[in-house]
Amino acid sequence: RDVLTSPWCWQHALLLNRFSQSPSLESSLAEQGYHPAFPAALPYLSAAFRCYTSRAPGRFPAQKHQPGRLKEYYLLNAASLLPVLALEVKDGEDVLDLCAAPGGKAVAILQCACPGHFHCNECDDLRSRWLEQTIESFIPDPLINLITISKLDGRQIGDLQPEFYDKVLVDAPCSNDRSWLFSGDPQQAVLRLMQRKELSSLQFQLLRSAVKALRPGGSLVYSTCTLSKAENSDVINLILSSCRNVMPVDISGMARGVSQEFTFLSGMQQHELLVLPEKGRAWGPMYVAKLKKVSS
């Protein structure tokens, strides 16, 4: 709570844009005490994927959106890259980002690989425009042609496009602890407690849709930015018990590979992790779980 409600503790990571490289940016970051966040201990990670973090709190200046000009970096919470790393997208795969706005994870996926087809979905009108602007700010024209942006209800995509995707990311709507704790409006708090009770049902429906959209042998990653067990492990356990064609995938090796940068809750299952914010490592909260579809 102390870290989440204290902006002077917050840290920001910079995900460099491989499509708009500035030769001086990395040396400038090094001079300011930034270091590469993800080690070579992750063998599947593309050399083009470069993220810098600093132990010290503070915010690097953001770059404004300029039509026709690509940004050089994306500012984000470093923990939000873990779902992308867990997804392990490879060149040529068909990928669905089910709840894609504001677009940071979509940009990160495209730093890792070049999908055969990339479907970014966001049902909310305002957030969908935000997603479009993010893609336009970071991705060059030839690659944009591989991206489809839709405004569908994510719960229906599995029925509309059954067994269509190799990889699916479900970065689900959740009770975002960082923004919810920081807002002190009592009326909003009552509304959010009511929403919180309904979210796990929505998350389960989105996950079930994602499973339908996956090809047999394909994998999905589920993520939230909440500490709520009801929205994290409970939702995953419900999917595992109700979908016989889904099995958990061990991501403990990935967690060990990034353990210098993040603090994880102990006692989690091998297919899940939960990043806990603390001073000097103010990343998270971020829950990540990985599943695989074994049959139709």
Residues making up the binding site for S-adenosyl-L-methionine: 99-105, 122, 153, 171
3-state secondary structure of 247: strand
Q: Which of 9, 112, 225, 243 is catalytic?
A: 225
Burial of 199 (0-12, 13-18, 19+ CB in 10 A): buried
Chain position carrying tokens 């080690």:
39
3-state secondary structure of 203: helix
Burial of 215 (0-12, 13-18, 19+ CB in 10 A): middle
Q: Phi/psi of residue 166, each to 5°?
A: -85, -35
Chain position carrying tokens 């990670």:
45
Instruction: Give yes or no for a cis peptide into 216 (omega within 30° of 0).
Output: no
**Spatial CB neighbours of 27, under 8 Å, sequence gap ≥ 6:** none
Cα–Cα nearest to 55, from 25, 7, 26, 12: 12
CB 109 within 8 A of CB 46: no
Chain position carrying tokens 């419900």:
238
Q: Can you name the residues that pair with 232 across neighbouring β-strands? A: none
**Spatial CB neighbours of 150, under 8 Å, sequence gap ≥ 6:** 119, 120, 121, 122
CA atoms of 263 and 79, how far apart (whole Å): 10
CB 200 within 8 A of CB 235: yes
Residue type, 12: H
123 counts as catalytic: no
Active site residues: 225
